């Protein structure tokens, strides 16, 4: 397992303590989870989760190889938290991303990513960060670290700014990392807020490591919102994302509508592509013939 130095920066920002209960929401192949276990001195418990079952094999192998006795490997979609598990001291979300910060390792990123891929990734990241925030216990350390190996603002500052709008009891705190560039407060007409300066960006040509983004959030106690009549407003559902209007940057009202037929076509095409990569020849659905 060969990991770049930048991969361990989110763990340093997380600053895990012994005897804590910690969730690594997207942990495969296990570099960050084993580092967390080491910093906890093999005490407490680390839930190393990954949504892809095939990747949990390498995750389990690295956990055993490193002698981590306080790590539990689990296989859930990150958006299922905190329904399956909750009450954590700290949560690390190294979110699935486009990988634009590691083009030196995978040059194919430059040609195999479309605008739709970036849109879907940003949507998924917004869902995951809300679920990560809801998974911590405000009575404990209540720290969430969000990181990506991407340099795209839509996957970094825009996601953190969205989480701050949707969860008013959350605030950005210094990462504790002594180097790195400040995060963007605005980009191409979109304003993210002055507090985004507390996030950190790392560039290959500046810091001699993979491109990375790290943000550290502190989750406070929820306060009930009151409407004009003095009645309590029901909290929003976990993981539900409202897409933003490109022109004004305002959060859209109402439920988000998706084209299920179009999404189904994309998912089927991706499934066939994965099967072909494994050597299978997926057959198309037989067309029904008229009698």
Residue recorded with tokens 């998912």:
267
From 68, 97, 131, 149, the catalytic residue: 149
With H, G, I as helix, E, B as strand and everything else as coil, classify residue 172: strand
Angle 31-39/55-65 helices, nearest 10 degrees?
30
- The tokens for 134 are 């809801």
With H, G, I as helix, E, B as strand and everything else as coil, classify residue 164: helix
149 catalytically annotated: yes
Q: Which letter, b or e, does each residue of 191-208 get, where b requires 16 or more Cβ atoms within 10 Å of its Cβ?
A: ebeeebebbbbbbbeebe
Give which of 50, 49, 19, 24 is closest to 35, Cα–Cα.
24
* Residues listed for the chain: 291
- Known catalytic residues are 149
């Amino acid at each position: 397992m060969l990991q770049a130095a930048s991969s361990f920066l989110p763990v340093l920002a997380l600053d895990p303590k012994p005897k804590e209960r910690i969730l690594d929401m997207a942990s495969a192949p296990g570099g960050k989870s084993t580092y967390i276990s080491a910093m906890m001195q093999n005490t407490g418990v680390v839930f190393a989760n990954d949504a892809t079952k095939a990747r949990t094999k390498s995750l389990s192998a690295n956990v055993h190889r490193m002698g981590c006795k306080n790590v539990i490997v689990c296989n859930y979609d990150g958006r299922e938290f905190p329904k399956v598990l909750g009450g954590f001291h700290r949560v690390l979300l190294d979110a699935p991303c486009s990988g634009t910060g590691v083009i030196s390792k995978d040059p194919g990123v430059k040609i195999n990513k479309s605008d739709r891929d970036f849109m879907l990734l940003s949507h998924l990241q917004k869902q995951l960060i809300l679920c990560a925030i809801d998974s911590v216990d405000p009575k404990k350390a209540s720290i969430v670290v969000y990181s990506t190996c991407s340099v795209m603002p839509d996957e970094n500052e825009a996601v953190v700014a969205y989480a701050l709008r949707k969860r008013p009891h959350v605030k950005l705190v210094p990462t504790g990392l002594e180097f790195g560039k400040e995060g963007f407060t605005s980009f191409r007409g979109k304003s993210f807020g002055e507090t985004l300066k507390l996030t950190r960006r790392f560039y290959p040509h500046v810091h001699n490591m993979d491109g990375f983004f790290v943000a550290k959030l502190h989750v406070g106690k929820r306060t009930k919102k009151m409407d004009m009549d003095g009645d309590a407003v029901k909290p929003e559902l976990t993981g539900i994302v409202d897409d933003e209007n490109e022109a004004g940057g305002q959060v859209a009202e109402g439920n988000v509508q998706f084209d299920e037929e179009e999404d189904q076509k994309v998912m089927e095409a991706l499934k066939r592509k994965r099967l072909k990569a494994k050597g299978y020849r997926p057959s198309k659905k037989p067309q029904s013939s008229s009698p």
